[in-house]
Amino acid sequence: MRIIAGTLRGRRLNPPQNLPVRPTTDMARESLFNILNNYVDFDECSVMDLFAGTGAVSLEFVSRGAREVTAIDINAQCTDYIKQCSVQLGVRNLHVVRADVFDLLKRANRRFDIVFADPPYALESLASLPDLVFGAGVLTDDGIFVLEHPREYSFEEHPHFWQHRAYGKVNFTFFANKLED
């Protein structure tokens, strides 16, 4: 796993084998950021990464100049690893929070330009995540929510659905408060 672009481009991430994660592939991450590049000025954005796992997506946002990134995961091994990477890479604008995503969304009191979620594919409440994110009010008015999910899910009927992209087994659905093409 490597950071694809930006100031940390090419830096390798070597998470411990025992982390309970399914990291987003380099190819899928590159495709995700190619899409976001067309809609987002990374230098101006704040990002919340739900189910952060290895922190690869968070670190990619940092590398591309995001003003501030908050990585959230319930697993202590994951949050410890992300903190360790942050120190090794000299990153100062990555905040790591060990918390249950669902509890955190209930008490969230800030807004972000981008919310990214890569939950476990077997998560029973995966389909409820778009409603929870929008209900929590964590997105700015122009904010984008990106959900990574298996192909069995379709969110095309969701009122905030914007677009869907598939890369092999990886699916990204994009949601927005203000829908534009």
Token pair listed for 166:
């598939």
Give the count of domains, the chain.
Answer: 1
Q: Is residue 31 part of a domain?
A: no
Per DSSP, which regions of the chain are E strands? 46-50, 68-73, 94-98, 112-117, 139-149, 161-167, 170-176
Which pLDDT band holds residue 105 (cuts at 50, 70, 90)? Answer: very high
Q: Is residue 67 part of a domain?
A: yes
Q: Is residue 17 part of a domain?
A: no
Whichever domain contains 68, its CATH number is 3.40.50.150
- Give the domain extent around 149: 45-176
Q: Is residue 159 part of a domain?
A: yes
Average pLDDT over residues 79-89: 96
pLDDT in tens, 44-64: 899 999 999 999 999 999 999
Q: Is residue 138 part of a domain?
A: yes
Average pLDDT over residues 133-151: 95
Which pLDDT band holds residue 19 (cuts at 50, 70, 90)? Answer: confident
Q: Is residue 59 part of a domain?
A: yes
The pTM score is 0.94
Q: Is residue 12 part of a domain?
A: no
pLDDT in tens, 147-161: 999 999 999 999 999
